[in-house]
């Protein structure tokens, strides 16, 4: 079954001639079953290189469709794929790249109920997701199942990666015992990311997978590798297992994957107002404070006249600029960050608070079509 | 002296990539250093009171508090989640 055809021998000849791979290693790659969680920025190079390398079964977890703003870094997709389900486009592309790979699409959102069963069919898990709830689910499940997890994340020009194998080293919870409050951590959509960063870091993840399968080299177990793209520097930190880790320490208390809710858990659902209503109220009510919590460079592309810019990350320190006695409407690009700003202002005691539904994007579509969209 | 380095979002929020600080009561331990950095202003307080920072001394991630010594390099990293 795992023997290689003539076509495969030619295809993998650059692998086969290396003493670290040989026929045996290539057969091991063909027997390997790898689950890739997310087929976005990190998942693109991961899936492409793992398929090209001849991983036998490649599972892909994704539920999103291709958006125009993905193409800048998610090189698995073409411009013509915009609007298609990512899994459909990915499967086509990967099958074209290497027909010897069994591509298994899993069109689902990972949950505490399905993650263990999903991992059962795979040997190695790779995290190419973009949010903490998924990262912790995958980490918990991999540690509990005793399977290695190749972890990575990126931010603007920086990236980090490690191999978490709780049998031999630390897990994600040894580094960060609990996920941080979502309000504090910007996503790629909010913080931005240079396209090459997930390219570089995702390719490194693929290399770690191959090293694990071949049993060659020094996997990044117990090491956190950090890349600063602007500085052109790599740093390597040593990470020991945390003896107090609730998942993989001797007194571990976590015995099943924990589901975290994405945003503002427990926060009161904010009142949303439409762009049209905001326009009418701005014209009529001079006391209304319209607060834009995006970044200055986004504000410079387009903003609603009369709005005040206070980036989400600075909001807590600039509360003095807002009058709690006056009504306040929060806006951002599409509505995500203003929800977090809402939760933060509620905690700070602000009561007359609303959120502009759909952010400046909705304003551009419904109030001022001449406003640039991004 | 201690060399203190900041990465990713922390560096952007505090506007510094590194500091050199003399060893003193305020920098005798990792917790004391972090607390004292947090008093440098609003941005510093916000960035350094985040619950989930990775703290490394001489390229080794530290779980819990630890004493600091002359010549140590201390680094603070925030959690990052983009993908």
Chain B environment of A178 (Cβ under 8 Å): 51-52
How many other CB atoms are there within 10 angstroms of residue A24's CB atom?
10
Chain A environment of B83 (Cβ under 8 Å): 38, 40-43, 127-131, 152-154, 188, 198
- CB spacing of A154 vs B7 below 8 angstroms: no
CA distance to A66, A162, A219, A327, A334, per residue, from A223 (Å): 33, 6, 9, 49, 37
pLDDT, tens digit (0-9, with 9 covering 90-100), for A289-299: 999 999 999 99
Question: Given pLDDT bands bounded at 50, 70 and 90, which one contains residue A2?
Answer: low
Average pLDDT over residues B44-67: 91
Tell whether the model's pLDDT for residue A53 goes beyond 50.
yes
Per cent of chain A over pLDDT 70 is 95
Per cent of chain A over pLDDT 90 is 81
Judged by a CB distance cut-off of 8 A, whether residue B54 touches chain A is yes
Query: Residue A217 is encoded by which pair of tokens?
Result: 């080299």
Question: Given pLDDT bands bounded at 50, 70 and 90, which one contains residue A163?
Answer: very high
- CB spacing of A153 vs B83 below 8 angstroms: yes
CA distance A26 to A283: 68
CA distance A206 to A52: 11
Domains within chain A, CATH numbers bracketed:
32-238 (3.40.50.720), 272-366 (3.40.250.10)
The structure's pTM equals 0.83
Domains within chain B, CATH numbers bracketed:
2-77 (3.10.20.30)
Judged by a CB distance cut-off of 8 A, whether residue B78 touches chain A is yes
Q: What is the mean pLDDT of chain B?
A: 92
pLDDT, tens digit (0-9, with 9 covering 90-100), for B1-26: 999 999 988 998 899 999 999 999 99
- Indicate which residue of A36, A188, A245, A328 is catalytic: A188
Which of B8, B63, B83 comes nearest A158 by C-beta? B8
Contacts of A207 (CB under 8 A, 6+ apart): A49
A188 classed as catalytic: yes
Contacts of A263 (CB under 8 A, 6+ apart): A182, A183, A336, A339, A340
Q: Is A201 helix (H, G, I), strand (E, B) or coil?
A: helix
Which of B52, B75, B82 comes nearest A153 by C-beta? B82
Q: How many residues appear in chain B? A: 83
Tell whether the model's pLDDT for residue A262 goes beyond 80.
no
Tell whether the model's pLDDT for residue A367 goes beyond 60.
yes
Q: A360 with A300: CB under 8 angstroms?
A: no
What pLDDT was estimated at residue A206?
98
Backbone angles phi, psi at B61, to 5 degrees: -70, 135
Q: A106 with A189: CB under 8 angstroms?
A: no
What pLDDT was estimated at residue A349?
82
Average pLDDT over residues A161-174: 97
Higher pLDDT, A294 or A265: A294
CA distance B52 to B56: 13
CA distance A261 to A100: 38
A332 classed as catalytic: yes
Lowest-confidence region among A18-32, A207-221, A276-290: A276-290
Question: Given pLDDT bands bounded at 50, 70 and 90, which one contains residue A317?
Answer: confident
Question: Given pLDDT bands bounded at 50, 70 and 90, which one contains residue A182?
Answer: low
Bridge partners (DSSP) listed for residue B54: B77
Judged by a CB distance cut-off of 8 A, whether residue B40 touches chain A is no
CA distance B57 to A176: 16
């Amino acid at each position: 079954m795992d023997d290689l055809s003539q076509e495969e021998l030619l295809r993998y000849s650059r692998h086969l001639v290396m003493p670290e791979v040989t026929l045996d290693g290539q057969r091991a790659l063909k027997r390997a079953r790898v689950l890739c969680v997310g087929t976005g920025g990190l998942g693109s190079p991961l899936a492409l290189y793992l398929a090209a390398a001849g991983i036998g079964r490649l599972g892909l977890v994704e539920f999103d469709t291709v958006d125009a703003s993905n193409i800048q870094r998610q090189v698995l997709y073409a411009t013509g794929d915009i609007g298609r389900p990512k899994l459909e486009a990915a499967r086509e592309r990967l099958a074209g790249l290497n027909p010897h790979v069994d591509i298994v699409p899993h069109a689902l959102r990972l949950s505490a109920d399905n993650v263990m069963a999903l991992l059962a069919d795979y040997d190695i898990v790779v995290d190419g997701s973009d949010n903490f709830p998924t990262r912790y689910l995958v980490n918990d499940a991999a540690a509990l199942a005793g399977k290695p997890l190749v972890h990575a994340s990126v931010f603007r020009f920086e990236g980090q990666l490690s191999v978490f194998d709780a049998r031999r080293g630390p897990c994600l919870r040894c580094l960060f015992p609990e996920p941080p409050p979502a309000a504090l951590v910007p996503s790629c959509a909010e913080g931005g990311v240079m396209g090459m960063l997930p390219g570089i870091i995702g390719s490194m993840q693929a290399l770690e997978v191959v090293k694990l399968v071949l049993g060659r080299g020094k996997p990044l177990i117990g090491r956190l590798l950090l890349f600063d793209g602007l500085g052109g520097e790599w740093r390597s930190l040593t990470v020991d297992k945390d003896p107090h880790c609730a998942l993989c320490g001797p007194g571990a208390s976590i015995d099943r994957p924990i589901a975290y809710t994405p945003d503002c858990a427990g926060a009161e659902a904010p009142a949303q107002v439409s762009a049209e209503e905001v326009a009418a109220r701005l014209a009529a009510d001079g006391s209304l404070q319209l607060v834009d919590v995006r970044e200055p460079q986004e504000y410079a592309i387009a903003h609603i006249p009369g709005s005040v810019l206070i980036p989400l990350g600075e909001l807590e320190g600039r509360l003095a600029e807002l009058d709690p006695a006056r009504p306040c409407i929060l806006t951002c690009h599409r509505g995500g960050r203003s929800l977090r700003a809402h939760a933060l202002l509620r905690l700070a005691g602000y009561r007359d608070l609303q959120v502009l539904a759909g952010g400046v994007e909705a304003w551009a579509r419904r109030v001022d079509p001449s406003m640039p969209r991004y | 002296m201690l060399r203190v380095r900041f990465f990713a979002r922390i560096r952007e929020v505090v506007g510094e990539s590194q500091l050199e600080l003399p060893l003193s009561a305020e920098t005798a331990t990792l917790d004391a250093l972090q607390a004292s950095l947090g008093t440098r202003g609003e941005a510093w307080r916000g960035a350094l009171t985040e619950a989930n920072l990775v703290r490394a001394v001489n390229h080794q991630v530290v779980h819990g508090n630890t004493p600091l010594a002359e010549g140590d390099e201390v680094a603070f990293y925030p959690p990052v989640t983009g993908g």
